[in-house]
Amino acid sequence: MKQFILSLALFTAPFVVTAQSDTLQSEGKHSLALGISSKEGAFARVTPDDSTKKSSPLVINTQRKKISIKVESRDWASEADSIKDLLKDLRTERRNQFAYWAGIDIGANLLLGTNGSTSFGQDAKFMELQEPNSRFFAINFFERKFEFGTNHVGLLTGLGWEFTNYRLSNNYRLQFTQDSTYGVFLETPELRKNKLRQSGFRMPLMLEFNTKRSRIPTEEEVMAAARDTVGGKKPKSFHPDNKHNFHIAIGAVGTWYYDSMYKVKYRDEGRTIKERDKGDHNLLPYRLAAAVRIGYGSLNLFAEYALTPLFEHNKGPELTPFTVGLTIVGFN
């Protein structure tokens, strides 16, 4: 039977061995050897290590070969991990820590009339919303920030995936032709769900400001730390920290809508009927919105006010989308 021995360093603190008749104390590292052989069967041995030597390697013994796996700490500022690369990594880490676009956003959608009100005249009454149920959801999956020499100011951009829902409150069924979108009032049935949805990809372009100071170390400071640090890790004091940071971003968000859907749900003779319409309903297929994102630490609130109308020109009532919400999960 092949002999298999796995030697593993177990203890880094002083180790005490006690016998029945005599007491023997041995300080230093010890190794535990576990194995099975045809002569001894299963066995376990504890042997002291030579304190003058480095940590023991992981050893696997076979009948004809001995396999050793040795792990040693390397100098922090090694040739492969140069000062230039370390500083570059620190700058990248700081840009990521002090950008607040990537994450999952949720919010509420509103539609504003020409007078800035959410209550409309008769010509647009079919578009009045159940605002708590008119939900906004976005996954902002990519961000890139360009710092202006400091973490306090930078230009932010990225990409996101947006789902904008408008839950209509009145019992109007949405209709559209090539030239117009309008609502038809229904006496019956009562619409249990009356929803218009747009899906699209969005991209921000915003100036972002941060109040917390996060300085990049000099080459001399990195070299000084390297003389006292091993293990390939940067000192914790060099890592950017965005706790207690007040941040605000101001700019614009552009969205291209690739899909729209109108859905109604109602009861008819005891049955639940669901109908979907994938027509564009003369909705404008893009949106440009003035945007602001503001927060403290990991908290991030946002608002987006559309600079473009909901419907194409003269093909529906003049309504302006407005969205408010917060980031529930940040990806940094």
Q: How does residue 233 score in pLDDT terms, banded at 50, 70 and 90?
A: low
Question: Does residue 252 contact residue 204 with C-beta atoms inside 8 Å?
Answer: yes
Question: In 3-state terms, the chain is what percent helix, strand and coil (to 5)?
Answer: 10, 50, 35
* Sequence-separated (6 or more) residues with CB below 8 Å from residue 284: 257, 308, 309, 310, 311, 312
DSSP 8-state class, residue 168: B
The highest-confidence range among 18-27, 75-84, 135-144, 215-224, by mean pLDDT, is: 135-144
3-state secondary structure (DSSP) of residue 122: helix
Is the pLDDT assigned to residue 5 strictly greater than 50? no
Instruction: Return the H-helix or E-strand segment holding 207.
Output: strand 191-210
86-100 residue pLDDT tens: 788 888 888 888 999
> What does the DSSP assignment read for 291-306?
EEEEEETTEEEEEEEE
Block residue for tokens 């019956």: 188
Query: 36-40, 101-105, 141-145, 174-178 — which is least confidently predicted?
Result: 36-40
Among 48, 14, 18, 19, which residue's Cα sits nearest to residue 33? 48
* Sequence-separated (6 or more) residues with CB below 8 Å from residue 24: 17, 18
Which pLDDT score, from 0 to 100, does residue 81 have?
A: 58
Is the pLDDT assigned to residue 200 strictly greater than 90? yes
Question: For the residues 179-205, what does the mean pLDDT come to?
Answer: 96
Which pLDDT score, from 0 to 100, does residue 79 have?
A: 44
103-147 residue pLDDT tens: 999 999 999 999 889 989 999 999 999 999 999 999 999 999 999
Question: For the residues 194-223, what does the mean pLDDT come to?
Answer: 90
pTM of the model: 0.71
* Sequence-separated (6 or more) residues with CB below 8 Å from residue 60: 4, 5, 6, 66, 67, 68, 69
Cα angle value 119/181/127 (rounded, 5°): 20
* Sequence-separated (6 or more) residues with CB below 8 Å from residue 304: 253, 289, 290, 291, 321, 322, 323, 324
> Average pLDDT of the chain?
82
Is the pLDDT assigned to residue 24 strictly greater than 60? no
Axis-axis angle for helices 83-97, 219-226 (nearest 10): 110
Is the pLDDT assigned to residue 184 strictly greater than 70? yes
